[in-house]
Amino acid sequence: MLEGHTFFFFLVMMVQMLTGILANGLIIVVNTIDMVSRRRMIPLDLLLSCLATSRIILQLCIFFAQLGIFCLAKHSIFTDNVAFVFFINELGLWFATWLGVFYCAKIATIPHPLFLWLKMRISRLIPWLILGSVLYATFTTVALGGEASTVPKQIFLSFFSKNSTQVRPIPAMPLSVFILGLTLPSFIFIVAVLLLIFSLCSHGWKMRTMRGTGEPCRHGHISAILSILSFLILYFSHYMVALVVSTQGFHLGSTAFLFCGLMIGIYPSLHSVILVLGNPKLKQNAKMFIVHCKCSHCARA
């Protein structure tokens, strides 16, 4: 039985999962329909679809993990496949990183030869970046050796263990390699987002000093900066929670542990909702879906 704050966390977790699946499912369906009509998929849609697919899988994995935490399912279902979970999580981080790089290359104005080269070729590089992400995530999950591949499983077994004395410490080298696999895409993402924010702020300041600059233009820059900041906060929070969980510093069922579980689930759901609201095509289809649901509900009533 779930009682008190545990029941509240369980309800929030259910809302997170359903929101994430709906938002990411919308991204996949809309881009697939657009691909069928055009007979090809543009690079941004391809990247968004890969990101949405990885997040749906991650959301379902988080759901099964939290069911085990709440004693509503056997935790072995999750711990026996935890290496796959970390593969999907790292893959999703790479896809989100390349999305940040894509926006930075397309929107930012930085007078540097390397950046100008990237701006001209980023669309053609997207399929190769996706392939490279899959290979890198596979390498860090499988090819690093048996000891390194047991790190994620050992972390989660420590949470499900009732006796802390039975938990074996994780060797420093495999844990360092594991953390490095999460740190590299996070570093690239943070650099790309900070460059984009700096470029937008610089452009907004120039527009503000020019005569005849309208309020809608300034509001547009502020909206874009706030949206990018929300991406950065959610991404960085997810990365920090993953690091904290890796230290095995929480007891199973503690409030801090449950809070970290919620933070892990917020990123793939809320980030995708922001992506839908910030993309005109996805936003329009989301409105059509809501209107269709309302009409169906009224017709049944």
| DSSP string covering 131-191 | HHHHHHHHIIIIIT-HHHHTHHHHHHHHHH-S-GGGPPPPPHHHHHHHHHHHHHHHHHHHH
Contact by Cβ (8 Å): 110, 197: no
- Poorest-confidence range of 7-16, 121-130, 284-293? 284-293
pLDDT surpassing 90 at residue 77: no
What integer pLDDT is reported at residue 81 of this predicted model?
65
Alpha carbon dihedral 283, 24, 63, 257, in 10-degree steps, equals -60
Q: What is the pLDDT of residues 177-197, one digit of tens each?
A: 667 777 888 899 999 888 888
Model confidence at 288, pLDDT cuts 50, 70, 90, reads: confident
Highest mean pLDDT among 216-220, 223-227, 296-300: 223-227
pLDDT surpassing 60 at residue 50: yes
Highest mean pLDDT among 6-15, 48-57, 112-121, 251-260: 48-57
Give the burial class of 183: count Cβ atoms within 10 A of its Cβ; 0-12 exposed, 13-18 middle, 19 or more buried.
middle
Average pLDDT of the chain? Answer: 76
184 vs 163, residue with greater confidence: 184
236 vs 131, residue with greater confidence: 131
Q: What is the pLDDT of residues 233-270, one digit of tens each?
A: 888 888 887 777 666 555 555 666 667 777 777 888 88
> Who's near 272: CB < 8 A, 6+ residues apart?
20, 23, 24, 27, 51, 52, 55
> Who's near 249: CB < 8 A, 6+ residues apart?
none
pLDDT surpassing 80 at residue 88: yes
Q: What percent of the chain has pLDDT over 90?
A: 12
What integer pLDDT is reported at residue 165 of this predicted model?
46
pLDDT surpassing 80 at residue 101: yes
What is the domain count for the chain? 1
Instruction: Give the range of the structural domain holding residue 234, as residue numbers without chain letter.
Output: 4-300
Question: Domain holding 290: CATH number?
Answer: 1.20.1070.10
pLDDT surpassing 60 at residue 148: no
pLDDT surpassing 50 at residue 298: yes
The string over 42-73, giving b where at least 16 C-beta atoms fall within 10 Å of a residue's C-beta and e elsewhere, is ebbbbbbbbbbbbbbbbbebbbbbbbbbbeee
Q: What percent of the chain has pLDDT over 70?
A: 65
pLDDT surpassing 60 at residue 150: no
pLDDT surpassing 60 at residue 114: yes
Contact by Cβ (8 Å): 59, 21: yes
pLDDT surpassing 90 at residue 133: yes
